[in-house]
Amino acid sequence: MSDARRVAEVLRAGRPGDDVLVRGWLRTARHAKGVSFLEVSDGSCFAGLQVVADPELPNFEAEVRKLGTGCAVEARGALVESPGKGQRVELQARELSLVGGVDDDYPLQKKRHSFEFLRTIAHLRPRTNTFGAVLRVRNAAARAVHGFFQERGFVLLHAPIITLSDAEGAGEMFPVAGSEEFFGSQAHLTVSGQLEAEIAALALGQVYTFGPTFRAENSNTSRHLAEFWMIEPEMAFCDLAGNADLAEAFLKHVIQQVLADCPDDMTFFDQRIDPGVRERLEHVVASEFERLTYDEAVGLLEGSGRDFEFPVRWGIDLQSEHERWLAEEKVGRPLVVTDYPREIKAFYMYLNDDERSVRAMDVLVPRVGEIVGGSQREHRHDVLRQRMAEAGLPEEQYWWYLDLRRYGSVPHAGFGVGFERLVQFMTGMANIRDVIPFPRVPGYAEF
Segment 234-293, which members bind RNA (CB under 7 A)?
none
Contact 47, 81 (CB under 8 A): no
Contact 337, 293 (CB under 8 A): yes
**Which C-beta is closer to RNA: that of 12 or that of 88?**
88
Q: Which of residues 5-34 bind RNA (CB under 7 A)?
A: 28, 30-34
To RNA, the closest distance from the beta carbon of 245 in angstroms equals: 18
**Which C-beta is closer to RNA: that of 60 or that of 381?**
60
**Which C-beta is closer to RNA: that of 212 or that of 299?**
212
Nearest to 125 by CA among 70, 71, 74: 70
To RNA, the closest distance from the beta carbon of 361 in angstroms equals: 11
Number of residues that bind RNA (CB under 7 A): 75
To RNA, the closest distance from the beta carbon of 435 in angstroms equals: 10
To RNA, the closest distance from the beta carbon of 70 in angstroms equals: 9
To RNA, the closest distance from the beta carbon of 180 in angstroms equals: 25
Q: Which of these ranges, 180-188, 238-246, 271-279, 416-424, lies near RNA under the rule CB under 7 A?
A: 416-424
Nearest to 381 by CA among 409, 345, 423: 409
Instruction: Identify the residue among 59, 97, 219, 397 touching RNA (CB under 7 A).
Output: 219
Instruction: Identify the residue among 57, 133, 159, 225 touching RNA (CB under 7 A).
Output: 225
Per-residue contact track with RNA, 293 to 332, x per CB under 7 A? -----------------x------x-xxx-----------
Work out the number of other CB atoms within 10 angstroms of the CB of residue 323.
21
Nearest to 258 by CA among 135, 127, 415, 416: 135
Instruction: Identify the residue among 124, 155, 170, 273 touching RNA (CB under 7 A).
Output: 170
Instruction: Identify the residue among 193, 366, 411, 416 touching RNA (CB under 7 A).
Output: 416
To RNA, the closest distance from the beta carbon of 111 in angstroms equals: 3
Q: Element (H or E) spanning 385, and its range?
A: helix 381-391
Instruction: Identify the residue among 42, 265, 290, 370 touching RNA (CB under 7 A).
Output: 370
Q: Which amino acid is at 263?
A: P
What is d(CA 243, CA 208) in angstroms, rounded to the nearest whole number?
A: 13
Q: Can you give 76-119 as a three-state secondary structure string?
A: EEEEEECCCCCCCEEEEEEEEEEEECCCCCCCCCCCCCCHHHHH
Contact 231, 218 (CB under 8 A): no
**Which C-beta is closer to RNA: that of 186 or that of 320?**
320
**Which C-beta is closer to RNA: that of 35 or that of 260?**
35
CA distances to 48, 206, 226, 433 from 413, in Å:
46, 10, 26, 30
382 touches RNA by CB under 7 A: no
To RNA, the closest distance from the beta carbon of 61 in angstroms equals: 10
Instruction: Identify the residue among 125, 127, 224, 342 touching RNA (CB under 7 A).
Output: 224
**Which C-beta is closer to RNA: that of 34 or that of 408?**
34
Strands 412-418 and 369-376: antiparallel
352 touches RNA by CB under 7 A: no
Q: 81: which residues sit within 8 A by CB, 6+ positions away?
A: 16, 88, 89
DSSP secondary structure of 228-268: EEEEEEEEES--HHHHHHHHHHHHHHHHHHHHHH-HHHHHH
Q: Which of residues 423-442 bind RNA (CB under 7 A)?
A: 430-433, 441-442
Instruction: Identify the residue among 171, 205, 212, 242 touching RNA (CB under 7 A).
Output: 171
* Separation of first and last alpha carbons in the chain: 33
Backbone φ, ψ for residue 79 (5° rounding) = -80, 130
**Which C-beta is closer to RNA: that of 72 or that of 170?**
170
**Which C-beta is closer to RNA: that of 182 or that of 308?**
308
185 touches RNA by CB under 7 A: no
What is d(CA 369, CA 289) in angstroms, rounded to the nearest whole number?
A: 14
**Which C-beta is closer to RNA: that of 13 or that of 32?**
32
Per-residue contact track with RNA, 42 to 81, x per CB under 7 A? --------x-x-------------x-xx------------
Backbone φ, ψ for residue 31 (5° rounding) = -105, 120
Q: Which of these ranges, 177-185, 225-233, 244-252, 334-342, lies near RNA under the rule CB under 7 A?
A: 225-233
Report how far Cα 140 is from the mean position of its chain's Cα atoms: 10
What is d(CA 408, CA 295) in angstroms, rounded to the nearest whole number?
A: 33
Helices 240-261 and 129-151 cross at an angle (nearest 10°) of 140
Q: Which of residues 87-126 bind RNA (CB under 7 A)?
A: 87, 90, 92, 104-107, 109-114, 116-117, 119
To RNA, the closest distance from the beta carbon of 400 in angstroms equals: 21
Nearest to 417 by CA among 408, 426, 429: 426
**Which C-beta is closer to RNA: that of 403 or that of 442?**
442
